[in-house]
Amino acid sequence: MEKKSLDFIIKRLKEIKNRGFISSRRGYDTGIGHTLEQLLGLKENNLSIPDWGTFEVKGQRIETGSYITILTKKPDKIKNAKILERYGYPRPKNGKMVIHQTVFLNKLNRQGFVLKDNIKKRTIDLYKKNTLLGSYKKSDLRSKFLEKIGDGIILVFAESKKYKGIEKFRYAEAYLLKDFVFKRYLNNIYYDIRIGRYPDGRPHDHGSAFRVKKSDLKKIFKTYRKIL
């Protein structure tokens, strides 16, 4: 794992910003993060900063919604394919079954999905109305969060545009997020079920994602500092 000072990272991000729009080095949604890692000279999706810790590096399109994905993890007891089979609905343009749901804690969404905080069992449970679909142990979630984000996140926002079918990014601003507070995250939880289709019709499981609003990041990290 490479060790670089925070000043070095800030200097490198400024240089990348000054380059303007840079062609993606990988297609699809993951191109923004992969390209950033390549530009920073990272071999892995993390970064060790002496006296600060180990950080997850995340690239995010500025114009893409208002939510940040913290972690993707499938629930216990049920597979996403089974959720698709039971509760999927036809995609308008081709009739293929898909499911895209944003699920809230203790509040039914329009399709009847809800997350419930089971204090007694110390789990976060996924329901479709009164039917329990699956669960997450809070201790497992906390461990996975810490394993994924290390000591924090360096979050870089980029402008995006396409030219002759190739997406280009201008990495415009960045933030250092440190000292994650799990209990605060549970109070600001959003959960996405995202199963689409590849062009050939096969299911495309994007994973079950735990997300947070951009505006709520300051609530779940003790340190939220703009570095670019």
Over residues 139-160, the mean pLDDT reads: 86
* Cβ-contact 110, 126 below 8 angstroms: no
- Assigned domain for 120 exists: yes
Query: pLDDT tens, 161-214?
Result: 888 888 999 999 999 998 888 888 888 888 998 887 777 777 777 778 888 888
More confident residue, 86 or 207: 86
The CATH number given to whatever domain includes residue 171 is 3.30.70.3570
3-state secondary structure of 221: strand
**What total of structural domains would you count in the chain?**
1
Residue 228 has pLDDT above 60, yes or no: yes
Instruction: Kindly report the average pLDDT of the chain as a whole number.
Output: 84
- Helices vs. strands in the chain: H and E counts, helices first: 6, 14
Give the domain range for residue 62: 6-226
pLDDT of residue 14: 95
Query: pLDDT tens, 34-84?
Result: 889 888 887 666 677 766 778 888 888 887 667 888 888 878 877 777 888
- Residue 15 has which token pair? 């240089």
- Assigned domain for 1 exists: no
The stretches of the chain forming alpha helices (DSSP H) are 6-18, 31-40, 80-87, 138-149, 182-186, 217-220
State the pTM of this model. Answer: 0.74
